[in-house]
Structure 1
Amino acid sequence: MCGIAGLVDPRHSADDLRAAAGAMADALAHRGPDGCGVWAMAERGVAVAHRRLAIVELSEAGAQPFVSADGRWVLSYNGELYDAADRRPALEADGHRFRGTSDTEILVELIARHGVAGALAQVDGIFAFAAYDRTEDRLWLARDRMGVKPLFYAASGSRLIFGSQLTALTACPDFRPEIDPEAVSSLLRHGYVPAPGAIYRGVRKLEAGHSLGWRPGEPVRSEPYWSLDAVIAAGRAEPFEGPPEEAVDALETLLRAAVRRQLMSDVPLGAFLSGGIDSSIVAALMAEGGARPRTFAAGFPEDPRFDESPHAAAVARHLRTEHTTIPIAERQVLDRVADLPAIFDEPLADPSGLPTHLLCAATRAAGITVALSGDGGDELFAGYDRYALATRFARRIEPVPRPLRSLGAAALEGLPRGAAGLLARALPPPWGGPEGVDRLRKAAGQLPGSGFDLYRRLLTLNPQARALALGAPGLPSPMDAAGTLPLLARMRRLDSLAYLPDDVLTKVDRASMAVGLEARVPLLDRTIVEFAWRLPDNILTHNNKSKWPLRAVLARHVPPALFERRKQGFAPPLASWLRGPLRDYARDLLLGADSGGGFLDRARVGHMLDEHLVGTHNHAVGLWPLLTFEAWRLHRSA
């Protein structure tokens, strides 16, 4: 992958334009350590920059910005087109003489012949790009269908700046970013800032599957060129109607093709392997035909609750991959917590971000430049535990009249803390134990609601986010929109629109690109996305198994005994860390003289931290976004 940046600003001289674009590109050096280029047209006030991580076509024939053969289009592109080889013959037949083998050249020539909209309708891959049309004096920005690759922009009057990360925008002269209180509120609630919003006022994320074309003086409007809702509607209109085993046959064929397409590379390639279903499928299909892919797993030897490495090693032995376990010690993670704001340019309160980064760094140090991951399987094929919880709630609790549920909730919530503690100790896990009181009270609060209310609550890190953010209501989120889909489809849709691109894919992009490692996601191939949305619920959850189709595919390659187990996740034990080794770090950040910066209610934050530290409540999930924001805020002002 790479980093892209640029600006349109007619006020600048030629030297100033190049200097500004160069500074923006330099801020993305970690994304592209193999080269830097700047193209500028002073009379139009346009400059486009690029930082290169060479993956395909390692020679200068793949350097960017790339100018089309007719001289009309200038392209700065971050991504991979997995169907590039299929597009090449038609371009050659049309008379194009290729300078090299890069997919950049394929893309710019498709744009030259069909326009941006026509090219986007054809290509398949992960990307974010800027294409400047010299004939119409128009800048185009576009982002891939599922939002794998990032793109930010800010526009005001006759000026527009853009970049792969916020660090590129903040490196642009005369750009004065201001933190948006609404974004802070959203961060505290969700753990991320939902697109199209950004942590800075006036900055936007280009949404997944969107493009925009702009010239000075025009309003900035992004438009979808691809819509997940259209895919969902098409899938529901023509659902898969065969027996479950036929669905597995079809899915395996699509998965095999997607993985093979994504193995193209002129540099060393490997895969992340946790031993779970999704990453194991990717590794299994990579290993077909006798190949021995290199696979990498993170190990947490000090805490077996979070250590999936033995399972990953067992799958690797069965598949005969060249496997490496990367041990991550608690001290190693704790020592790097302060580095998070430098890795994540926009605050992201995903506790697995740092372990993911350490895994990526070790994988890159082992000589790998491209790694395939299993991200996307849970959203597409209904793999999250919260789906099952919400569905069971809807089936078993919702039929009880709401007044009765409200009475039960009031009774539980009204129990004195001592009585609630006695009740919690008498109950089995997960309701028992020292944190059982919190769980009981949270469960009581859900009783009057619906299954979807429970799902939304499970994705809310801080129910008091608005109060903690001094009353800021937060940015619009897909989570708050009304929906008419059945419950399971509605949850999958919302996770695919929000949690997947704004948390999961953002985490993987920043964690990997910080060390110059490209991460690919074959489960998010367009063919698989479209097929997943044709599958009815009774196939997705066949035999009462979450993401049953993926399980069934994997069982053809790996014995179920090696992967049929409860999800462990990849998050560190925050609750104990905040009461132990991170205690002083948390107190310094949240209770210091400059804490809050005018964005947080210091009294509420302090009370919340105190309750956690003395052990009467477990606020770890809610405290982490507060710590993430404060660490990021202080880092940016340092």
Structure 2
Amino acid sequence: MCGIAGIYHLATPKPVDPLRIERMCDALAHRGPDGAGVWTAPGVGLGHRRLSIIDVAGSPQPMASSDGRTMLVFNGEIYNYRELREELRGDGAQFHTDGDSEVILAAWQRWGQDCLPRLHGMFAFAIFDLAERTLFLARDRLGVKPLFYAPLSDGSIAFASELKGLLAHPLLRREVDPLAIDDYLAWGYVPDHRSILAGVRKLPAGHSLLLRHGAPLPAPLQWWDVSFAERRRGKPADLEAELLHLMRQAVSSRMVADVPLGAFLSGGVDSSSVVALMAEAGRDPVKTCSIGFDVAGLDESAYAGQIARRFATDHRARTVSPDDFALVDTLATMFDEPFADASALPTWRVCQLARETVTVALSGDGADEAFAGYRRHVFQHGEDRLRRALPQALRGPLFGALGAVYPKADWAPRPLRAKATLQALGLPSEDGYASAIGIVPPELRASLYSPDYLALRGDYRAEEPLINLMRNAPARSGLDRAQYADLKFWLPGDILTKVDRTSMAVSLEAREPLLDHRLIEFAANLPEGLRVRWGEGKWLLKKTMQRYLPDEILYRPKQGFVTPISQWFRGPLADVARTIGNSSALARTGWFNSQALNGVAEAHISGRSDHGRLLWQLLMLDRSMSTLGLNA
């Protein structure tokens, strides 16, 4: 895994200062502590920070093709590079290294942009063609690896693996995009269609960008998408066998490394499945790691230990306190943009533990999105059945009225918390799902904003891009559209951002075998009944893994990493919550109604309401503004 950065002049081939590229790369040193390189030519500069994983002694970057015509900087791993190398060698290509970087160069020279569908892996890369004077940027199918870019005032385009690489460029404007604030409060992160900084863009997952001298900046071109429009036919037993084959293939291909390799093990279905297949494929004990908490209700370490014993792994566990609130500023710096998924803290902790013994760790991320593993998928599946039975003209008034009068019972047992479900049933499918996955609903957001910000935001609502994405999805059902939105919106914006930044912060490469695109495409075409059945998500995946895992692992309630943020804001962070409305960097932006923020803080501290997640969002936004020195 690595960090890349570069500058390309669109209008005229002005000289590029190598020191400027070097400073951008230095800001990404955590992504690549094993080496650095800079290359410049008239109108272009490329930089690279290397974390050595494959061909440790060779494959320095920026890398030139064998004929010297093209230059590459690359972040990621190509898992089928050996097969591609043999195919390309048969066509006359010559190779001087044993790594995957040179394979990308040869594939580009052989197939041009059509090389992308042939690359199996996670990647963000830039290729400069010295003859054509073009710069080609590409990002992998699911968006595992990030890529930011921005037009600058001198006519150049700068790009980098993280926003902090762009921030090292003196011409980058540090001006906040006001619509990103509504996006962030709605979702807890800034989705990939926007950046916290006006003018900064993220290359979308499964897209590429071809830049030419003398031509305007083009729109990104989509080269991959996932379709839920078809349904696989066949007996469940045959589909189960096909799924197992694809999972074995995905795991074994990601076990190729020239450095120590291990796995995260939470004791949940997904990480346990990956560890089981690693143990089956390898000769040596799998190196696994997990963290537990000193609060019984948050601790899953016993389940991780059960799987470690079952597969005789070389297991390391550490118990940590969930009270890591002192690390807020560290998190803000790690993510650059405001990021409010509180599970980032324990994810970072398990990455730190893994890095003590391995350089590569496999995770179980992606299965919930692909196979309908979240509770919201089960609800969406059931709610859409009712939506089909009752017309919107009847359903909207009926369930809208019921949802309005039903009490918001956060304290009650889960089956009695029906307010959100009733409200969702009164909405169209897409609007209901947007409401289900959002954090701060539109009405509450509007009550927090100042009149000036409301005028600045205008008619925009953060839910609109998600709703439009679902309505235009290549899909048949509400469940299809929900999963499509998760894969295209939630996954790259939240889950993969979290794993990339926390792992790269400690120079650890995280690999996600359950996001192999062949697995994703297979899962997208499964009949709904093989994804959700009898109120259980990931049905076919769990049935497939019954030969490896016990029922108490497969069918226990999903938990995940939990951070007690609500307790923090009633305890050690209570005074911090009280300052957000008046004396923080956030208060000085003029975006918010200080009296409303103070009311939220006091209602939470007193216990009248649970606003822990909202306060965490506001705190992370405040610290990001301060850390980056951003201007409203």
Residues 501-510 or 599-608, more deviating: 599-608
1:190 match: 187
Alignment of 1:336-375 (within 5 A): 336-365=327-356, 367-375=357-365
2:436 match: 458
Q: Tell me, yes or no, if the aligned pair for 2:387 and 2:395 is still in contact at 8 Å.
A: no
Identity of aligned residues (%): 39
Are residues 581 and 310 of structure 1, via their aligned partners in 2, closer, same or farther at CA, if it must alter by over 3 Å? Answer: same
Query: Which digits, 9 at most, give the CA deviation of each residue in 1:384-406, with x for residues without a partner?
Result: 00011222233357746755763
Letter in structure 2 aligned against 1:126: M
User: Distance in 1 between the 2:228 and 2:428 partners?
Assistant: 23
Letter in structure 2 aligned against 1:110: A
1:479 match: 467
User: Distance in 2 between the 1:106 and 1:500 partners?
Assistant: 28
2:147 match: 151
1:24 match: 24
SS in 2 for 1:532: helix
Query: Which digits, 9 at most, give the CA deviation of each residue in 1:281-340, with x for residues without a partner?
Result: 1100000055411111121122x2221111111111111111111212123x22222311
User: Distance in 2 between the 1:507 and 1:527 partners?
Assistant: 23
Are residues 323 and 360 of structure 1, via their aligned partners in 2, closer, same or farther at CA, if it must alter by over 3 Å? Answer: same
1:294 match: 287
Query: Which digits, 9 at most, give the CA deviation of each residue in 1:569-613, with x for residues without a partner?
Result: 212122222111221232234431543323333232222222222
Return the match for 1:511 from 502, 527, 534: 502
Residue 114 (structure 2) pairs with residue 130 (structure 1):
no
Letter in structure 2 aligned against 1:345: D
Alignment of 1:57-76 (within 5 A): 57-59=55-57, 61-76=58-73
Q: Tell me, yes or no, if the aligned pair for 2:36 and 2:50 is still in contact at 8 Å.
A: yes
Residue 458 (structure 2) pairs with residue 468 (structure 1):
no
Letter in structure 2 aligned against 1:172: H
Alignment of 1:203-218 (within 5 A): 203-218=200-215
Shift of residue 196 of structure 1?
A: 2.6
Q: Tell me, yes or no, if the aligned pair for 1:391 and 1:487 is still in contact at 8 Å.
A: yes
Letter in structure 1 aligned against 2:280: E
Query: Which digits, 9 at most, give the CA deviation of each residue in 1:546-566, with x for residues without a partner?
Result: 111210222111222333200
User: Distance in 1 between the 2:583 and 2:558 partners?
Assistant: 38
Letter in structure 2 aligned against 1:22: E
1:34 match: 34
Are residues 408 and 122 of structure 1, via their aligned partners in 2, closer, same or farther at CA, if it must alter by over 3 Å? Answer: closer
2:137 match: 141
Return the match for 1:499 from 490, 508, 515: 490
SS in 1 for 2:135: strand
User: Distance in 2 between the 1:143 and 1:457 partners?
Assistant: 29
Shift of residue 355 of structure 1?
A: 1.0
User: Distance in 2 between the 1:411 and 1:534 partners?
Assistant: 36
Residue 370 (structure 2) pairs with residue 380 (structure 1):
yes
Query: Which digits, 9 at most, give the CA deviation of each residue in 1:408-448, with x for residues without a partner?
Result: 65467458xxxx59xx69x961366xxxxxx5654554452
Query: Which digits, 9 at most, give the CA deviation of each residue in 1:458-483, with x for residues without a partner?
Result: 21111133553522235662334424
Residues 532-541 or 615-624, more deviating: 615-624
Are residues 616 and 344 of structure 1, via their aligned partners in 2, closer, same or farther at CA, if it must alter by over 3 Å? Answer: same
Q: Tell me, yes or no, if the aligned pair for 2:189 and 2:338 is still in contact at 8 Å.
A: yes
Alignment of 1:286-435 (within 5 A): 286-288=278-280, 290-302=283-295, 304-331=296-323, 333-365=324-356, 367-396=357-386, 399=389, 406=397, 409-410=400-401, 413=404, 429-430=413-414
Query: Which digits, 9 at most, give the CA deviation of each residue in 1:512-562, with x for residues without a partner?
Result: 001100000111112111111221101112454211121022211122233
1:448 match: 426
Return the match for 2:263 from 259, 271, 276: 271
1:262 match: 254
Residue 603 (structure 2) pairs with residue 633 (structure 1):
no
Query: Which digits, 9 at most, give the CA deviation of each residue in 1:116-138, with x for residues without a partner?
Result: x1221311110000111111111
1:77 match: 74
SS in 2 for 1:88: helix
User: Distance in 2 between the 1:534 and 1:445 partners?
Assistant: 30
| Corresponding residue pairs, total | 612
TM-score, reference length from structure 2: 0.91
Residues 90-99 or 257-266, more deviating: 90-99
User: Distance in 2 between the 1:594 and 1:630 partners?
Assistant: 6
2:104 match: 107
User: Distance in 1 between the 2:311 and 2:376 partners?
Assistant: 31
Query: Which digits, 9 at most, give the CA deviation of each residue in 1:153-173, with x for residues without a partner?
Result: 012573100000000001012
User: Distance in 2 between the 1:545 and 1:413 partners?
Assistant: 29
Residue 543 (structure 2) pairs with residue 547 (structure 1):
no
Letter in structure 2 aligned against 1:391: H
User: Distance in 2 between the 1:168 and 1:26 partners?
Assistant: 8
Shift of residue 219 of structure 1?
A: 2.2
Are residues 593 and 53 of structure 1, via their aligned partners in 2, closer, same or farther at CA, if it must alter by over 3 Å? Answer: closer
Are residues 264 and 617 of structure 1, via their aligned partners in 2, closer, same or farther at CA, if it must alter by over 3 Å? Answer: same
Are residues 474 and 516 of structure 1, via their aligned partners in 2, closer, same or farther at CA, if it must alter by over 3 Å? Answer: farther
2:43 match: 45
User: Distance in 2 between the 1:397 and 1:291 partners?
Assistant: 52
1:93 match: 90
TM-score, reference length from structure 1: 0.91
User: Distance in 2 between the 1:480 and 1:96 partners?
Assistant: 45
Are residues 92 and 278 of structure 1, via their aligned partners in 2, closer, same or farther at CA, if it must alter by over 3 Å? Answer: same
Residues 572-581 or 520-529, more deviating: 572-581
1:435 match: none
SS in 1 for 2:414: coil
Q: Tell me, yes or no, if the aligned pair for 1:275 and 1:563 is still in contact at 8 Å.
A: no
User: Distance in 2 between the 1:531 and 1:253 partners?
Assistant: 11
User: Distance in 2 between the 1:560 and 1:440 partners?
Assistant: 29
Shift of residue 244 of structure 1?
A: 1.2
Are residues 209 and 254 of structure 1, via their aligned partners in 2, closer, same or farther at CA, if it must alter by over 3 Å? Answer: same
Which blocks of at least 5 consecutive residues in structure 2 are unaligned? none
Letter in structure 2 aligned against 1:256: R
SS in 1 for 2:262: strand
Are residues 527 and 592 of structure 1, via their aligned partners in 2, closer, same or farther at CA, if it must alter by over 3 Å? Answer: same
Which blocks of at least 5 consecutive residues in structure 1 are unaligned? 433-438
User: Distance in 2 between the 1:36 and 1:590 partners?
Assistant: 44
1:247 match: 239
